[in-house]
Amino acid sequence: KEPHNRSVIASAGLIPLLYDILTSSYSQVRPAKKRQGSQGAALGSIAKERLLTQTCIVIGQFCNDDRFREQFIDMYPHTVKCLLYIFSLVQFGSALSSKCMFALKQLCASRNDQKHHIGSHAIPHLLEGLADKDIEKPTECIYQSLLLLNMLSGLFANCELMYSEGLITILEELGELPAARRSDGFYSRVGQLMQSMSEIAAATEK
């Protein structure tokens, strides 16, 4: 997590290795609605998902440095595409889904073009997952969801999309879950999003 450590590890060639792991493994995640299969195939997919979960964590940590974030976006252009594919396919609420949101949030931190690209693809799926009462949503899932939504809300077009997808109602219902109330900074992050939604509602009424 330390900047010096990231530089040393990057100089050893870890970033292209992370990219290789991501691009060679992303298509092997198990679809949320088709998670039953032969035991051998299931075990292989589980192992890949665990590897991808750790890969997402490390990519996200590297993105704390602007230069590494830019590398992932510009030199390794399929990074975001692979992460969005994984996020759209894997079971919402799983460890991989949560860490995928973390990596996506980190990748778009300083780039509005990436906020727009990630937001247009991720917001509908994210809000659908949060709204689905049949999906278990651990505290980490809720935490990462709110972090990503707050990051994406820095772009007006994303706020409009969140508003049209029913974010206000979703946040109100989310607050009733014990796991949500245990999430670090839950009420402050919800308050920030509600403020953004109020501004969109006011603009819509004009």
pLDDT digits (tens, 9 = 90+) for 120-158: 999 999 999 999 999 999 999 999 999 999 999 999 999
Q: How confident is the model at residue 43 (pLDDT cuts 50, 70, 90)?
A: low
Choice between 36 and 82, residue whose per-residue pLDDT is larger: 82
Reported pTM: 0.91
Q: Are 167 and 127 in contact (CB under 8 A)?
A: yes
Q: Are 29 and 48 in contact (CB under 8 A)?
A: yes
- Distances from the Cα of 129 to the Cαs of 70, 113, 122, in angstroms? 29, 24, 11
Q: Give the model's pLDDT for residue 32.
A: 82
- Over the chain, what is the mean pLDDT? 91
Q: What gap in Å lies between CA 127 and CA 88, rounded to an integer?
A: 12
The number of beta carbons lying within 10 Å of the beta carbon of residue 66 is 10
Q: Give the model's pLDDT for residue 10.
A: 87
Choice between 33 and 117, residue whose per-residue pLDDT is larger: 117
Q: Give the model's pLDDT for residue 203.
A: 80
Give mean pLDDT, residues 45-66. 95
Q: Are 49 and 30 in contact (CB under 8 A)?
A: yes
Has residue 56 got a pLDDT over 90?
Answer: yes
Give mean pLDDT, residues 59-88. 96
Those residues whose C-beta lies under 8 Å from the C-beta of residue 73, and which sit 6 or more positions away, are: 79, 80, 107, 111, 114
Helix (H) or strand (E) holding 23: helix 14-25
Q: What gap in Å lies between CA 49 and CA 90, rounded to an integer?
A: 9
Has residue 4 got a pLDDT over 60?
Answer: yes
